[in-house]
A = this chain, B = another copy of it.
Amino acid sequence: MDIRKFVLTTVLSVHIVMRSEERYLKDYDASRFASPIVTVDNVLFSLDNNELSVLLVKRANHPYQGTWGLPGGFIDMTLDESTRDTALRKLVEKTGVIPPWLEQLETFSGKYRDPRGWSLTTAWFALIARTDCQPHIESVSDAKWLPTHQLTQQTLAFDHGEIITHALNRLRQKTRYSLLPVYCLAEEFTLTQLQEATEIILGQAIQRKSLIRRFEASGMFEDTGKSKATGARKARLYRRKEGVDIHLFSRNLLNDTAE
């Protein structure tokens, strides 16, 4: 960007109208000012078949009609109290359930990212266990899971490919200093499942011992008392404690791998 034009920009002289705020608000017409197109999009990740996938929906409307894109849409100002509500509403429409992890990713904006004109989308990043949403998704014909390693082959609407890449980086980074991948697992899970989830996301093996140390130090989990057979010795089943926040560690895993 050429920033010199900004340096030369002078402060606009402000026409101060002297009237009460009350009266000002009464007369205020939100449609007076040209406004960008505002949407909300979700990057929902899930694990299955040793793959990390992202949920896509086929666009029913223009622009990019028929192209795959992220599940999202316009804010419903009567239903939604914030863009978080919009994100949740759209996710529930497509998956039938509330994802156990939802955080704001980043807002993408620009003159050229939407053919209709200047646009802005607040992107959210979510995790879910595949089994918790698979039945609902299979009932909808216009939704599919895209394995992230096929991202480059798939043409996507708008800048959704770029948004997914940002979300992937965030997921990988957070996996190095938290146990975020548990939110991709079923309610009750084994340490081996958590290890596999972590390894799929990071794309490389980790030390089980390091995972166990963190698991215990986090204080986030409790033993269900149950165990699960997987062909050999039975593995203990854990669950997340009620109302416990995610624990952030002060060191990263895999700190040899350059950032």
Contact = CB atoms under 8 A, between A and B. Distances in A.
19 contacts: A6-B98, A9-B89, A14-B61, A16-B61, A16-B65, A21-B65, A25-B62, A25-B63, A30-B116, A30-B117, A38-B38, A38-B120, A75-B120, A82-B110, A84-B109, A107-B122, A120-B122, A250-B255, A251-B251
B3 A92 contact: yes
A37 interface: yes
A30 B37 contact: yes
Interface of A: 1, 3, 5-7, 9-11, 14, 16-17, 19, 21, 24-25, 28, 30-31, 33-38, 60-65, 74-75, 77, 79-85, 88-89, 92-93, 96-98, 104, 106-107, 109-112, 115-118, 120, 122, 140, 247-248, 250-252, 255, 259
A135 B151 CA distance: 50
Given A11-B140, A104-B107, 14 more contacts: A6-B89, A7-B97, A16-B65, A17-B61, A17-B62, A24-B63, A25-B116, A30-B35, A35-B35, A35-B37, A36-B75, A75-B118, A83-B109, A250-B251
Nearest to A140: B11
Given A14-B61, A98-B3, A109 B122 contact: yes
Oligomeric state, in copies: 2
Given A61-B14, A82-B109, A92-B3, A77 B118 contact: yes
Contacts of A24: 62-63
Contacts of A33: 74
Closest A-B pairs by Cβ, 9 of them: A250-B255, A24-B62, A250-B252, A14-B60, A77-B118, A6-B92, A83-B109, A107-B107, A82-B110
Contact of A62 (B21, B31, B93, B98): B21
A93 B255 contact: no
Contacts of A111: 77, 80-82
A132 B104 CA distance: 33
Contacts of A21: 62-65, 115
A15 to B, nearest CB: 9
A159 to B, nearest CB: 11
